[in-house]
Amino acid sequence: MQKITSHLWFDKEAMEAAGFYTSVFKDSRVKNTTTLRNTPSGSVDVATIELSGQGFTLISAGPLFKFNPSVSFLIACTTKNEVDAFWEKLRKDGMVVMELDQYPFSQRYGWIQDRYGVSWQMMFMGERNIKQKIIPTLMFVDNVCGRAEEAIRFYVSVFTASKIGEIVRYSEGEEPDKPGTIKHAAFTLAGQEFAAMDSARAHNFRFNEAISLVVHCNSQEEIDYYWGKLSAVPAAEQCGWLKDKYGLSWQIVPTIMEEMLKGDQKKIAQVTEPFLKMKKFDIETLKRAYK
């Protein structure tokens, strides 16, 4: 199981989006669907899916948060034709952020927000070795612009099997971005690839709960560790969710939750009731409720 997966918060479209995304990517499937009842958002639909072998959770929980480009997903493509194919599928009823074209960093690249508002970058990787098809990419803007490198070094210090990869920096003449800040950086957390960038341009968005990163934990000790390292906004702590010092949302979740929230609606209700009252998850309490 992946240590870190991506969580997408939809208004009502999670199930529809699960079907759409699994039709776009090869080697993809819907793993499980369930409904959680009596939550603050009422009844919410949850789908866990795999896209090219990578885990995602999609939830329909009301119009509280909107997707924006502060977190996007880079699709690493082996050919220019593959870039074009993803572009055609994902741009329908969406919005172009950067036109499909040749750029200094890639012979074929484009950036869109799809019909749901989720951001995707499609890039022909050329001679670069592709280890991971979909790479979550963090854009540090507004009050955290210029802190991408600090954040990367912090995240790498938190997770094992982590390292910083290639860093490309802004140069003189690329204002408003400050020379030396991050134009693009690759890094690995728990063996999984991520990317980050700073952008000093005017944006009307920043990190929010629409996209969060889920850390799957095998023990209470792990939950306590990641919670202690990452949580920096006490007011944001709820139901396993937290915000770090850069405003990025994380969920620190026991791996047994996946099995607990399958199938039997009575069992699901037994677990949902106590976890909605928790900030940091307590595994033993959840196990007692499940039994």
**Alpha carbon distances (Å) from 28 to 19, 31, 68, 126, 203:** 10, 9, 24, 24, 33
The pLDDT value given to residue 127: 87
The pLDDT value given to residue 273: 87
The pLDDT value given to residue 286: 92
Q: What's the burial of 243, exposed, middle or buried (CB within 10 Å: 0-12/13-18/19+)?
A: buried
Chain segment 196-217, per-residue pLDDT in tens: 999 999 999 999 999 999 999 9
The pLDDT value given to residue 263: 65
| Start-to-end C-alpha separation, the chain | 24
The pLDDT value given to residue 94: 96
The pLDDT value given to residue 266: 84
- The dotted CATH code for 4-66+208-290 is 3.10.180.10
Cα within 13 Å of Cα(49), Cβ side: 27
- Whole-model pTM: value is 0.96
Residue numbers of the chain with a pLDDT score lower than 70: 263
